[in-house]
Amino acid sequence: MTFSELSALWVLATVSSFSPGPNTALSTAMAANYGLRHAMRFVCAVPVGWGMLFTLCATGLGGLVVAFPPLRWGIVVLGNGYLLWLASRLWGSGSLQQADSAKLQVGFVQGVGLQFLNIKAWMLALAIVAGWVAGREDATARTLVLLPVMVAYGFFSNLTYAVAGSMLRHWLAHGRRLLVFNRCMAVALLATVVWLLNGLRTTGT
């Protein structure tokens, strides 16, 4: 793999991993409400789930998502429905005590599974496979290079957002700050849903 190919991948990985999205919003919100230790289960789950998803796409199974519209829309409906449910749980949490009782719990297994319901993650994995793997004689070697790179980006991007959320934890505990913060996170999740649906509509998928 040439340096120019790796450079293009690094740019794509940085933009896609560190830009706000459902994973980073959840990492931030969980760390702010429960602390960094609690959020680490989800932070670790994201790269594991995405790595599994990327591997499926690299072996050709991900093409079913593109070729079979009912499956694609099933992922969209289930994934976005879950994000909306999480947003509703965040919206009403105005104190750390309320956050505990609200049970906004996304553990390791749920975090891994959420990646398979994230149509954005599917499209990113398919785009990387199409641009860097498919049709290459060294496809297996390229997959083995790309997989740890993207897994690392997934881990460190979510860890960065989680650390930021945990640093705000004590400041958010006063007054209505946590309520405002949680509602901003809920709006971020809602905006992600709208953005994903609009992207699917404009591309005709």
Residues 86-110 have pLDDT tens digits of 778 777 665 554 444 445 677 899 9
User: How does residue 52 score in pLDDT terms, banded at 50, 70 and 90?
Assistant: very high
Lowest mean pLDDT among 49-63, 105-119, 173-187: 173-187
Residue 175 has pLDDT above 80, yes or no: no
Q: What is the DSSP letter of 138?
A: T
Average pLDDT score, the chain: 81
- Residue 21 backbone class (left: φ over 0; alpha: ψ -120 to 50; beta: rest): beta
Query: How would DSSP label each residue in 96-131?
Result: HHHHHHHT----HHHHHHHHHT-HHHHHHHHHHIII
User: How does residue 26 score in pLDDT terms, banded at 50, 70 and 90?
Assistant: confident
Position 99 scores a pLDDT of: 45
CA–CA gap between residue 167 and residue 56 (Å, rounded)? 36
Position 91 scores a pLDDT of: 78
CA–CA gap between residue 89 and residue 161 (Å, rounded)? 20
CA–CA gap between residue 99 and residue 35 (Å, rounded)? 11
Q: Whole-prediction pTM value? A: 0.78
Position 67 scores a pLDDT of: 74
Residue 154 has pLDDT above 80, yes or no: yes
Any idea which residue has 């602390």 for tokens? 35
Position 40 scores a pLDDT of: 94
> Higher model confidence: residue 70 or residue 65?
70
User: How does residue 152 score in pLDDT terms, banded at 50, 70 and 90?
Assistant: very high
Residue 162 has pLDDT above 50, yes or no: yes
Residues 66, 129 contacting (CB under 8 angstroms): no
Torsion of CA 68, 74, 79, 82, to 10 degrees: -170
Q: What percentage of the chain's residues is helix, strand, coil (to nearest 5)?
A: 85, 0, 15
Question: Among residues 168, 191, 127, which one has the least CA distance to residue 27?
Answer: 168
User: How does residue 204 score in pLDDT terms, banded at 50, 70 and 90?
Assistant: low
Tokens representing 187 are 């709006």
Portion of the chain with pLDDT greater than 70, in percent = 89
Position 20 scores a pLDDT of: 74
Q: What single-letter amino acid sits at 124? A: L
